[in-house]
Amino acid sequence: MFSKFFNLEKEKQDRIINAAIKEFAQKGYDNASTNEIVKEAGISKGLLFHYFKNKKQLFFFLFDYCYNVVADEFYKKVDLTERDFFKRIRQAVQIKVELQTKYPDILTFIQEAFMQDSAEIKVEFDKKKQELTAVNINIIYEGIDLSKFRDDVDVQKVLKIISWTFEKMSDEELLKAKMLPNHKIDYDKVFLEAEEYFEIFIKGFYNDGGK
Amino acid sequence: MFSKFFNLEKEKQDRIINAAIKEFAQKGYDNASTNEIVKEAGISKGLLFHYFKNKKQLFFFLFDYCYNVVADEFYKKVDLTERDFFKRIRQAVQIKVELQTKYPDILTFIQEAFMQDSAEIKVEFDKKKQELTAVNINIIYEGIDLSKFRDDVDVQKVLKIISWTFEKMSDEELLKAKMLPNHKIDYDKVFLEAEEYFEIFIKGFYNDGGK
Amino acid sequence: MFSKFFNLEKEKQDRIINAAIKEFAQKGYDNASTNEIVKEAGISKGLLFHYFKNKKQLFFFLFDYCYNVVADEFYKKVDLTERDFFKRIRQAVQIKVELQTKYPDILTFIQEAFMQDSAEIKVEFDKKKQELTAVNINIIYEGIDLSKFRDDVDVQKVLKIISWTFEKMSDEELLKAKMLPNHKIDYDKVFLEAEEYFEIFIKGFYNDGGK
Amino acid sequence: MFSKFFNLEKEKQDRIINAAIKEFAQKGYDNASTNEIVKEAGISKGLLFHYFKNKKQLFFFLFDYCYNVVADEFYKKVDLTERDFFKRIRQAVQIKVELQTKYPDILTFIQEAFMQDSAEIKVEFDKKKQELTAVNINIIYEGIDLSKFRDDVDVQKVLKIISWTFEKMSDEELLKAKMLPNHKIDYDKVFLEAEEYFEIFIKGFYNDGGK
DNA sequence: GATGAATGAGTGTTCATTCAT
DNA sequence: GATGAATGAACACTCATTCAT
């Protein structure tokens, strides 16, 4: 599909991808300007539309590209033999932080993309989001040792509570960072806070309060 | 400030408000078109800007108007003498559902507004969001009987977990509804599900598992 | 013609006139906004157009009104029995400065009006300007003792040179004042400079260099 | 900066430039309509803003372009080795008339531009005007033989008087031409009149009346 | 493959003027 | 006399996309 694009010299590919990521991440889908992208990438207007038939296609290409980069690396690093749910989540958080440091633009782009709500891409993108979420949840839960959870509660719901908590915590941290002038996340503090939530969950939802 | 607008005949006020709510809710701040609003409201271009000096002011007016409508009704209905946190949350969910049924457009608008991220309104709107959130959290937690919670965990964090869970549950329900063709939420099912989460939390976080 | 307007209570007349003078003086004909005028004057949109059938008529009314105020006072003060041209001009400059101090807004308005160039009022206003200029030149030259001028030059041209010089000097002073932040004219310095030009002219164009 | 524009086919460049000159000259900066310009030039709305990022930039481009055209030609024609002030001024008037005949629209535009007073361009344009005026005055006075002037007067002021006179004469001629239906200036008559002013100045301000 | 000129409907906003009350 | 709601054409400017070269 994008073989034309991938036949380009690597350096130009990168210029285009980086320019587009930057623009979409900063301004969101609707307000991202193809003009800015070509200017930043140093290519002509026509060329962009030679490789991508329209803005929407460019966005979806970009999303898939970015998603693959981080997902590949994520699944390479995560240890799926770890059967304890909290250790698994802890890993996930850790890897996410590493990726954030290694590919800051890409992660910002993905995060912003997930919050995108433009009418033009809504239907297609919501579908994609749901699929990805479903896949990830399956993987995250795969092989988890559920026997550690108390058996008088619905484990599925407990897992949801836990996942949601970490999502919300992450959102809040992101939001706080955005508000501040220097936009810096203190990852050590985040980890510490996460640990406290872990303990609470273990106390509340593991057999014998995790003892 | 908007006394000019409120002196208009009620019916025309409503046409304008409804048209604007609809447009902003559907397309978000940036993509909402004042052209569409006037067309839908059946008024002239000039009139809209006779009452609201610009799009931003219209948006903030609309938000305040909508927020007041639902907040007033919410606080009229909520029983702040109820000191049990779960009963209080249960009330809140119940009232929210009622409001959703009574003012579906207004609630959609408010929810979308909270997810808005347009550069043009960002600073002002973020401030407003923060203020409202702070106020609401204070009220929601006011007078809550914290002695029911187990004392070996940080109650503040537990409260956060609980709030987040219901927010996420609500988001998920909304999203599911949006995906379906008929956009209908089965509130009875939602309630039932919420009850199950209540039980889990009580078991995990109340003294003696709530017994 | 404007009897309707003049039957208004004096105080309201003044509010309207002052608001309009201010707006036209500040922004020029085209950019002056009738909205601003009514807001400043504290009257309704409709009322302005009740008294003046349109913006153009308001402008011409205003100009005539202002012109009459200053012209009346000017001709009351000027001593037309003074037959020496330079003394006469010196008087004129002096009176102009006095008027500038007494009616700063009105004089600013008139000066700006003379520089107006809007297509909408061009034809009519140019005609008026020419008429006024013609009348004034006649009066300024009336009874002047031309015998003091050397007889080997065309006196009419000399008079023009002199008038032009003082006009340009005045323009330059005005412009300089506009450039500066505090917009203040140092009239004493202007007088002194004018005197130096007087001397030059007397040396160059009076019999025996004015001795 | 405007290389994009200059790469256009010459004929289209000219259509755009001429249309813009005409519109700005006729209506002034504020009232000139980019809509009219594109209509007259036979191009699309978008194209104009493809070449010029906004109305202001278009105006300044146009001014510089026009100014350069006439300034280049002016300085090619003027003889700066002529040290007599009046001969130099005579040359200037003559060349100006030639340029007026050769590029009537351009000269009209420049003259109107110098009288422009729009708030939007005020600051920048005033600065430019001042710079140009300073440069021109330097050149015009460069190498002038001041020893011919009588030494009992301030030569600088005399030079001002002379310059102002020719400016005013030129303004008056222009105005007269504008009033008439056919807008034609009789240059021969203007020259003759100018000569008479020369003589007056020589008599009044040269040593021994220029004998 | 690569360019960038060209499009035209779209945006929010302002304006003098009218007219029913 | 006095109000201010109402109009709609006009404004400068942006945009994703096309296409001849």
- Strand F and D120 CB separated by under 7 Å: no
Question: What pLDDT was estimated at residue D141?
Answer: 84
- Range of lowest pLDDT (B39-48, D33-42, D111-120): D111-120
Residues of C in contact with D158 (CB under 8 A): 200
Q: Do B197 and A161 touch (CB under 8 A)?
A: yes
Q: Does residue A198 belong to any structural domain of this protein?
A: yes
pLDDT exceeds cutoff 90 at B177:
no
- Find the Å distance, CA of residue B103 to C1' of nucleotide E19: 37
CA-CA-CA-CA torsion for A192, A195, A196, A202, nearest 10 degrees?
Answer: 180
pLDDT tier for residue C51 given thresholds of 50, 70 and 90: very high
Q: Does residue B129 belong to any structural domain of this protein?
A: yes
Min CA distance, D26 vs chain C (Å)? 8
- Strand E and C68 CB separated by under 7 Å: no
Residues of B in contact with A160 (CB under 8 A): 165, 168
- Find the Å distance, CA of residue A7 to C1' of nucleotide E3: 19
Choose among B27, B115, B203: nearest Cβ to A119.
Answer: B27
Question: What pLDDT was estimated at residue A21?
Answer: 94
CA-CA-CA-CA torsion for B6, B12, B15, B18, nearest 10 degrees?
Answer: 10
Round to whole Å and give the CA distance between B17 and B24: 11
Round to whole Å and give the CA distance between D33 and D23: 7
Q: Does D131 touch chain C (CB under 8 A)?
A: no
- Strand F and B46 CB separated by under 7 Å: yes
Residues of C in contact with D115 (CB under 8 A): 115, 117
The residue of chain B nearest to residue A204, with distances taken between CA atoms, is B204
Q: Does B142 touch chain A (CB under 8 A)?
A: no
Q: Residue B109's domain spans which residues?
A: 63-210
pLDDT tier for residue C74 given thresholds of 50, 70 and 90: very high
Share of chain A above pLDDT 90, in %: 46
| Contact indicator for D199, D191 with CB cutoff of 8 Å | no
Residues in chain D: 211
- Strand E and C118 CB separated by under 7 Å: no
Of all nucleotides in the shown strands, which has a C1' nearest the CA of C53? E17
- Strand E and B7 CB separated by under 7 Å: no
pLDDT tier for residue C152 given thresholds of 50, 70 and 90: very high
Q: Does residue A22 belong to any structural domain of this protein?
A: no
Question: What pLDDT was estimated at residue C111?
Answer: 87
Q: Do D26 and C119 touch (CB under 8 A)?
A: yes
Question: What pLDDT was estimated at residue B70?
Answer: 95
What's the mean pLDDT in A1-29? 89
Residues of A in contact with B165 (CB under 8 A): 160-161, 164-165
pLDDT tens digits for B193-202?
889 999 999 9
pLDDT exceeds cutoff 70 at C134:
yes
Question: What pLDDT was estimated at residue A46?
Answer: 92
The residue of chain D nearest to residue C126, with distances taken between CA atoms, is D179
Min CA distance, D193 vs chain C (Å)? 10
| Joined tokens for residue B181 | 């063709």
Chain D residues 40-59 with a CB less than 8 Å from chain C: none
Question: What pLDDT was estimated at residue A114?
Answer: 85
Question: What pLDDT was estimated at residue D20?
Answer: 96
pLDDT tier for residue C55 given thresholds of 50, 70 and 90: very high
Top-confidence residue, B139 or B41: B41
What's the mean pLDDT in A117-138? 86
Q: Is B44 exposed, middle or buried (0-12, 13-18, 19+ CB in 10 A)?
A: exposed
pLDDT tens digits for C179-205?
776 667 777 888 888 899 999 999 999
Question: What pLDDT was estimated at residue C59?
Answer: 95
CA distances to A111, D127, D166 from D139, in Å:
63, 19, 17
Q: Does residue C142 belong to any structural domain of this protein?
A: yes
Q: Does B157 touch chain A (CB under 8 A)?
A: yes
DSSP C146: G
DSSP A147: G
Q: Does residue C41 belong to any structural domain of this protein?
A: no
Question: What pLDDT was estimated at residue D150?
Answer: 93
| Contact indicator for B89, B115 with CB cutoff of 8 Å | no
Q: Coil, strand or helix: which one is D128?
A: helix
Top-confidence residue, D93 or A81: A81
pLDDT tier for residue B141 given thresholds of 50, 70 and 90: confident
pLDDT tier for residue B94 given thresholds of 50, 70 and 90: confident
Strand F bases contacted by the protein (CB, 7 Å) = 1-20
Question: What pLDDT was estimated at residue D165?
Answer: 93
Question: What pLDDT was estimated at residue D209?
Answer: 73
| Joined tokens for residue C178 | 């506009």
Mean predicted lDDT score pLDDT of chain A? 88
DSSP D150: -
What's the mean pLDDT in D182-203? 85
Of all nucleotides in the shown strands, which has a C1' nearest the CA of C33? E15
Strand E bases contacted by the protein (CB, 7 Å) = 1-20
- Range of lowest pLDDT (B154-158, C119-123, D75-79, D200-204): C119-123
pLDDT tens digits for D15-41?
999 999 999 998 889 999 999 999 999
| Contact indicator for A38, A45 with CB cutoff of 8 Å | yes
Largest Cα span, chain D:
65
Round to whole Å and give the CA distance between A137 and A127: 15
What's the mean pLDDT in B164-178? 82
The residue of chain B nearest to residue A149, with distances taken between CA atoms, is B204
pLDDT exceeds cutoff 70 at D181:
no
Top-confidence residue, A129 or B184: A129
- Find the Å distance, CA of residue A176 to C1' of nucleotide F13: 35
**Residues forming beta bridges with residue D149, ordered by sequence position:** D206
Question: What pLDDT was estimated at residue C118?
Answer: 83
Region for B76 from its dihedrals, namely left if φ exceeds 0, alpha if ψ lies in -120 to 50, beta otherwise: alpha
One-character DSSP codes across C31-50: H--HHHHHHHHT--HHHHHH
Chain B residues 170-189 with a CB less than 8 Å from chain A: 175, 178-179
Name which of C75, C73, C72, C60 is nearest C110 in CA terms.
C60
Q: Does residue A99 belong to any structural domain of this protein?
A: yes
**Residues forming beta bridges with residue D206, ordered by sequence position:** D149
In chain C, how many domains are there?
1
Give φ, ψ of D3 to 5 degrees.
-60, -35
CATH number at residue B123: 1.10.357
pLDDT tier for residue B170 given thresholds of 50, 70 and 90: confident
What's the mean pLDDT in C49-63? 94
Question: What pLDDT was estimated at residue A27?
Answer: 86
Q: Does residue A173 belong to any structural domain of this protein?
A: yes
Q: Does residue D201 belong to any structural domain of this protein?
A: yes
> Which of A118-122, C154-158, D139-143 is modeled with the greatest confidence?
C154-158
pLDDT exceeds cutoff 80 at A180:
no
- Find the Å distance, CA of residue B37 to C1' of nucleotide F11: 20
pLDDT exceeds cutoff 70 at A182:
no
The residue of chain A nearest to residue B27, with distances taken between CA atoms, is A119
Q: Which residue has the tokens 């479903």?
A: A134
Mean predicted lDDT score pLDDT of chain C? 88
Round to whole Å and give the CA distance between B40 and B32: 12
pLDDT tens digits for C2-40?
888 898 889 999 999 999 999 998 888 988 999 999 999
- Range of lowest pLDDT (A167-176, C69-78, D118-127, D149-158): A167-176
pLDDT tens digits for B48-65?
999 999 999 999 999 999
Question: What pLDDT was estimated at residue A158?
Answer: 93
Min CA distance, B178 vs chain A (Å)? 10
Q: Do B154 and A200 touch (CB under 8 A)?
A: yes
DSSP D206: B
pLDDT tens digits for D164-179?
998 888 888 877 777 6
Question: What pLDDT was estimated at residue B181?
Answer: 66
What's the mean pLDDT in A154-167? 91
What's the mean pLDDT in B34-44? 95
Contacts of C22 (CB under 8 A, 6+ apart): C40, C105
For chain C, the straight-line distance linking the first and the last C-alpha, in angstroms and rounded, comes to 55
Which partners does chain C have (≥3 C-beta pairs < 8 Å)?
A: D
Choose among D30, D197, D205: nearest Cβ to C30.
Answer: D30
